[in-house]
């Protein structure tokens, strides 16, 4: 197992990005071992050590957020922890970062390598428009934006109720294709990757990469809240060199 997952996208040479895995930290079970979430009842000293190691290894300053499943986008600040679910940066060395354990992390950059952003998109944030809010904050032409969709719960594991389907169809009727009937009557299997692509395409963003991961089934690399409610969080980060 490797300690890092590197996004496969045609980002400019000065754009750096990575996703951490469970490996390479000091947290004990059930947070073993590189838990970066400070809100999951892990030992605070272990989380601090894991975050310190991450900063030293990356050579940048992650701007952590207090995530609330909303649509607020903040300018990345490694000192002030904003209550937001996405951040953007145009300052070299300051990383936009989000923590997840089934929700969708989305990384953004522009073709010129002048701005980056990271968004945390659970189904509520995704339906509420966190990806669109991130695009608004970047203030870039849609054809200049690249997006990479990081590890999230896969469609074979993401069972939802009818209210989730209705929340997406209310604004994007074409999202119906991302929901398949579950074996449990009245419920659906949702494809969060497809839902993200539909919403990005509606804003004119076609250069979307990634997807195909499943945090629920990949027990060695990723934390999964649905698999084990008491668990850690891994990070998805993007920054300018």
In SS3 terms, 174-206 reads as HHHHHEEECCCCCCEEECHHHHHHHHHHHCCCC
| Domain coverage including residue 217 | 4-154+206-240
The CATH number linked to 74 is 3.60.140.10
Tell me the C-alpha distance between 218 and 223, whole Å. 8
Determine, yes or no, domain membership for 16: yes
Determine, yes or no, domain membership for 178: no
Q: Is the dihedral of CA 77, 41, 50, 158 positive or negative?
A: negative
Determine, yes or no, domain membership for 38: yes
Determine, yes or no, domain membership for 62: yes
Determine, yes or no, domain membership for 36: yes
Domains of the chain: total: 1
Determine, yes or no, domain membership for 194: no
Tell me the C-alpha distance between 90 and 158, whole Å. 34
Determine, yes or no, domain membership for 174: no
Cβ atoms within 10 Å of 112's Cβ, excluding its own: 11
pTM of the model: 0.97
Do residues 158 and 227 touch, judged by C-beta distance below 8 A?
A: no
* Residue-level pLDDT at 1: 42
* Residue-level pLDDT at 3: 80
Determine, yes or no, domain membership for 61: yes
**Order of strands across the sheet that contains 94-100:** 4-5, 15-20, 234-240, 94-100, 61-63
Average pLDDT, 10 consecutive residues per value, the chain (241 residues): 84 98 96 97 97 94 98 97 98 98 98 98 98 98 98 98 98 97 97 98 98 96 96 98 97
* Residue-level pLDDT at 20: 98
């Amino acid at each position: 197992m490797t300690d890092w997952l590197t996004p496969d996208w045609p980002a400019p040479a000065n754009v750096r990005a990575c996703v951490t895995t469970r490996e390479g930290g000091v947290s004990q079970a059930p947070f073993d071992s590189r838990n970066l979430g400070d809100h999951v009842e892990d030992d605070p000293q272990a989380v601090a050590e894991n975050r310190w190691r991450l900063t030293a290894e990356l050579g940048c300053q992650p701007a952590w957020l207090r995530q609330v499943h909303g649509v607020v986008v903040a300018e990345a600040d490694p000192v002030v922890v904003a209550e937001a679910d996405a951040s953007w940066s145009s300052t070299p060395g300051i990383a936009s970062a989000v923590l997840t354990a089934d929700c969708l992390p989305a990384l953004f950059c522009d073709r010129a390598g002048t701005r980056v952003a990271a968004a945390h998109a659970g189904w509520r944030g995704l339906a509420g428009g966190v990806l669109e809010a991130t695009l608004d904050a970047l203030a870039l032409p849609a054809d200049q934006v690249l997006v990479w969709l990081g590890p999230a719960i896969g469609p074979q594991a993401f069972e939802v109720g009818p209210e989730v389907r209705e929340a997406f169809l209310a604004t994007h009727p074409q999202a119906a294709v991302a929901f398949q009937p579950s074996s449990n009557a009245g419920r659906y299997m949702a494809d969060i990757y497809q839902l993200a692509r539909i919403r990005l395409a509606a804003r004119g963003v076609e250069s979307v990469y990634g997807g195909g991961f499943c945090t629920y089934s990949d027990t060695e690399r990723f934390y999964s809240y649905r698999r084990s409610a008491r668990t850690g969080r891994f990070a998805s980060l993007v920054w300018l060199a």
